Structure 1
Amino acid sequence: MKQSSPYKIYFLMFLATFFWAGAFIAAKLGVYDLSPVLLTFLRMGLAAVILFPILVFKQKQTWQLELSELKYVLATAIVGMIGYHLFFFTALKYTTASNASMINATNPLITALLATYFAGERLSIKKIMLLLMALTGVLYIITKGNLISILELDFNKGDFIMLCGTFLWAVYGILVKKIVPMMGPLKLTTYSFLFCAVLLLPFATYDFIKTQAYLVGGSPYLAVVYMAIFPTVIGYSIQQLAIQEIGPSKASLFINCVPILSTLLAVLFLGEAIYSYHFIGAALIIAAVILYNIGSDSRRPIKDGEVPR
């Protein structure tokens, strides 16, 4: 098979990063009119409808879900698709898209911390310092530059909800790392989306009727279509291609651009204000993640689901 130009792959990965960053903007627009449950159901359901034929076409002999795989799909669907996305959309009802994206950028480091417990990976002094550095960046953003206010619990609850969601996303990342060798990324992802939609169907139907979501305009539904197609399906496809062509380490570095692009898009399309504490906090978080990746022996392929979609 002919290898793609690395410059073409870099461009595609930047495009995928742009799509992932745009997910925060689309989600913020969506939560104005639709409930977190309904948004999660629609996004995952549409993504499953798109990915399922691709799965059947690419894995003609192995696309069926085996009974032994059911527990794995249920775990990833509940933790990563339902759990994370409910926190994600709920957080955006109370906090800004830029804050949410910066807090979410700590995911690789939280995953590394959890891996020391669940996977038995060693946590060196360097990693501990970088984790503390990233945590300081998050707290700096949450407290708007006044770290003392954390003692008074005076911070936006949306930021705290997003931090809880990021923790769940990290747990999902640990699960994915264990399960993907047994099922493959495409099969696991597709069925996780599908099971998420099926499990949420009764709750989403209730919300749809109760909130009269059928009366809202087309904008929130366009936001759902964007989230399902661009960051999820297209972003996933580009990500997997990049892992094959330039390797997981180089591909994962693009994730560090997500909070930067999300913040720029939030200023342009949502009119969000950016303050000095955003720059300082983001610099601490991104620097910690980059330094963690440099020279790390535990670098791993970024799997679908480890990037906000």
Structure 2
Amino acid sequence: MNREKIQAFLALFTATFFWASAYIFVKQLLEDVSPYMILSLRFSFAAIILVFIYNKKLLKINFEILKAGIIMGIFLFGEFFTFTVGLQYTTTSRSSLLIASYIILLPPAYLVIMRKRPSLSDIIVSVICMIGVSFILGNNLGSFHIGDIYCILCAVDYALYIVISSKYSKLYDSGILNVLQVSTTAVLSILSLVLIGNNRFSLSPADSFQLIYLTIFCTTLPFFLILYGMKHVSATTSGVLLSLESVMAAFMGIILLHESFTPNLIIGGAIVIFSFILSEVLPKIIRN
């Protein structure tokens, strides 16, 4: 494995950790702030930071990259809207594990968007990863409720976003794409706030820290890392590595929010990690 690929893996893993920690911070913020206000503040501040960082590169924007960034932003908004709103109605571990089902949606998403049939190794890895997620869920699903519906919709959006991002990140500058997708999400978040009208907002010092953390470490930085990583690894490998977010978030929920712990979590987490390793090894075995 070359140095560039190792750096891509590290970038994706770091982004995964920060996104996993977002479950904890968003869940706590929802006690004092509406989900629509969280989305608006989080992505508006992130967009301002990114515009400041990449202001010189923005002069290179043309119609094609503008279209790509807006498309990515639409799917990104759908993902984070369903995630943030859905987290009001369920636990962090349940939410993260339901959203992790996106991994099984990657092959069909790849087929629809890339117009290319996923390889046998892609399908096998996705199925194994989903088996791991099923172990993690165990008998904890119970009856579906509105929070679960939001989480499943988030999983669909997540799968589509990963494939679309993988496609465009290889064609255009990641910095410009980052500005465009986050700015699009910010605009759509503000529109949702205005249209829905739920602007509940009461920030304590702890809430302010959580919002700053979400803006910098769970929004601005991860998208840069993800777009960099996706330049050098496949969409399926990216998706499997990012699926570790569910395992990390579940453990964080157990440790920090005292949510229930089951042996299935250990078994399922091990299977998810194994599927990531397999995503790199299996294609070479099949080719040989």
Partner of 2:155: 166
Residue 231 (str. 1) matches residue 231 (str. 2)? no
Q: CA RMSD in A?
A: 3.7
Q: Residues 102 and 155 of structure 2 are in contact (CA less than 8 Å); yes or no, is this contact kept in structure 1? A: yes
156-165 vs 23-32, greater mean Cα deviation: 156-165
User: 1:115 corresponds to which letter in structure 2?
Assistant: Y
Structure 2 counterparts to residues 176-187 of structure 1, below 5 A: 176-187=165-176
222-231 vs 255-264, greater mean Cα deviation: 255-264
Residue 203 (str. 1) matches residue 203 (str. 2)? no
Partner of 2:31: 32
User: 1:227 corresponds to which letter in structure 2?
Assistant: L
Residue 92 (str. 1) matches residue 91 (str. 2)? no
Residue 117 (str. 1) matches residue 112 (str. 2)? yes
Distance in 2 of aligned mates of 1:242 and 1:115: 18
Q: Residues 178 and 224 of structure 2 are in contact (CA less than 8 Å); yes or no, is this contact kept in structure 1? A: no
* Partner SS state of residue 34, structure 1: coil
* CA 1:13–1:125: 2 relative to 1, 3 Å: closer
Partner of 1:302: none
Q: Residues 13 and 242 of structure 1 are in contact (CA less than 8 Å); yes or no, is this contact kept in structure 2? A: yes
Distance in 2 of aligned mates of 1:156 and 1:141: 19
* CA 1:37–1:106: 2 relative to 1, 3 Å: same
User: 1:73 corresponds to which letter in structure 2?
Assistant: G
Distance in 2 of aligned mates of 1:8 and 1:137: 26
TM-score, L = length of structure 1: 0.73
Q: Residues 11 and 228 of structure 2 are in contact (CA less than 8 Å); yes or no, is this contact kept in structure 1? A: no
Partner of 2:73: 77
Residue 288 (str. 1) matches residue 283 (str. 2)? no
183-192 vs 282-291, greater mean Cα deviation: 282-291
Residue 159 of structure 1 deviates from its aligned partner by 3.5
Percent of paired sites with the same residue:
22
Dislocated runs of 4+, deviation >6 Å: 4-13, 240-244
User: 1:189 corresponds to which letter in structure 2?
Assistant: N
* CA 1:125–1:179: 2 relative to 1, 3 Å: closer
Residue 296 of structure 1 deviates from its aligned partner by 3.3
Partner of 2:21: 22
User: 2:115 corresponds to which letter in structure 1?
Assistant: G
Residue 240 of structure 1 deviates from its aligned partner by 6.2
Structure 2 counterparts to residues 211-290 of structure 1, below 5 A: 211-213=199-201, 215-238=202-225, 248=233, 252=238, 255=242, 257-290=244-277
Residue 234 of structure 1 deviates from its aligned partner by 2.9
* CA 1:273–1:156: 2 relative to 1, 3 Å: farther
TM-score, L = length of structure 2: 0.77
Residue 53 of structure 1 deviates from its aligned partner by 1.5
Residue 165 of structure 1 deviates from its aligned partner by 0.5
* CA 1:277–1:179: 2 relative to 1, 3 Å: same
* CA 1:112–1:6: 2 relative to 1, 3 Å: closer
Residue 73 of structure 1 deviates from its aligned partner by 2.9
* CA 1:162–1:281: 2 relative to 1, 3 Å: farther
* CA 1:104–1:286: 2 relative to 1, 3 Å: farther
Q: Residues 41 and 204 of structure 1 are in contact (CA less than 8 Å); yes or no, is this contact kept in structure 2? A: yes
Partner of 2:62: 66
Partner of 1:42: 41
Residue 143 of structure 1 deviates from its aligned partner by 5.7
Aligned length: 280
Distance in 2 of aligned mates of 1:290 and 1:198: 38
* Partner SS state of residue 295, structure 1: helix
97-106 vs 269-278, greater mean Cα deviation: 97-106
Residue 69 of structure 1 deviates from its aligned partner by 4.1
Q: Residues 51 and 233 of structure 1 are in contact (CA less than 8 Å); yes or no, is this contact kept in structure 2? A: yes
User: 1:178 corresponds to which letter in structure 2?
Assistant: K
- Structure 2: gaps (5+ residues): none
Residue 192 (str. 1) matches residue 181 (str. 2)? yes
Partner of 2:164: 175
Distance in 2 of aligned mates of 1:176 and 1:237: 11
- Structure 1: gaps (5+ residues): 298-309
